[in-house]
Amino acid sequence: MPIETTETVAAAHAELDTLDPLAMARCFIAAQQGAVAAALAAGDRIGAAAAAAVPRLRRGGRLLYFGAGTSGRLALLDAVELVPTFSWPAQRAIATLAGGPGAVHQAVEGAEDDAAQAEHDLMALSPTADDVVIGVAASGRTPYAMAVLRAARPLGALTIAIVNNPGAPMLALAEHGIVLDTGAEVIAGSTRLKAGTAQKIALNTLSSCIMVQLEKVYGNLMVDLKATNAKLVARATDLVVRLTGSDTPTAERTLQACALEVKTAVVALRCGLDPVDARARLSGRGGSLRRALRDPL
């Protein structure tokens, strides 16, 4: 059985509790550099998983995240943030935690060991071959996450495993295995530290790569944001001004007429179209602002 590096006791930190608060803080922060290094080393695998996911999502598939404890909460955070950032439908980014919704705020003992419940939770979502199932577990052997991947693969869903231990059994259950080899933690076994940070980086990178490929970004601008508060409406207005060269009042009026859709407002102003025709032009080009502005009328 492979050594679980996330459970290894780091000799370098054996005197952790004797450090003064400043030295202790520096120790914890310095250790986080290992999370970045681990994510960089897994970059090609993350990119390959994103590339494999995009065709399924273009066909209407969903991102289905599963995990327990810290891993599950990080997966939930990634799913939730896709809605305001990219206007991704909430029903197409679903995170399920071992132990249910209550596990977000409080540990549910034994939930991560319940393989039968894991399969039940997956099947309750009626997964299809167009769905992307992402299992996240630092150890890479959490029964809940393993059961989800084991059940999802025969259904034809794309399966992705994100783990922190090389050789973890979850890797054999997924088409795309992503290893974030963060090694021993400053506090032995506390994977909410750099293992969790590496998972956050990997999840951010995976979903962001997917959304860029799905035409949710123009250049590096967040043109598909959901403007649900004053700050985001101001950001949306600034984007319209930047991309059209219009004055702020014109951008504000057009944005409001286009239901606060930045891409629609930009096409309307740049192509001289009303909101209905601008939206249709975008739709006919797969939601791509670049193609909507580039292709002949």
State the catalytic residues.
81, 112
| Nearest CA-CA partner of 257 in 270, 273, 246, 238 | 273
The dihedrals phi and psi of 112, each to the nearest 5 degrees, come to -70, -15
- What are the residues whose beta carbons fall under 8 Å from the beta carbon of 206, sequence distance 6 or more? 46, 49, 50, 53, 134, 160, 178
Report the C-alpha dihedral over residues 149, 150, 152, 153, rounded to 10 degrees: 100
Taking 3-state DSSP, the helix, strand and coil percentages for the chain, each rounded to the nearest 5, stand at 55, 10, 35
Instruction: Kindly state the helix (H) or strand (E) to which residue 178 belongs, with its residue range.
Output: strand 176-179
With tokens 């530290």, the residue in question is 193
Report how far residue 258's alpha carbon sits from residue 239's, in angstroms, rounded to the nearest whole number.
14
Beta bridge mates, 270: none
Give CA–CA dist 260/250, Å, rounded: 13
* Helix, strand, or coil (residue 227): coil
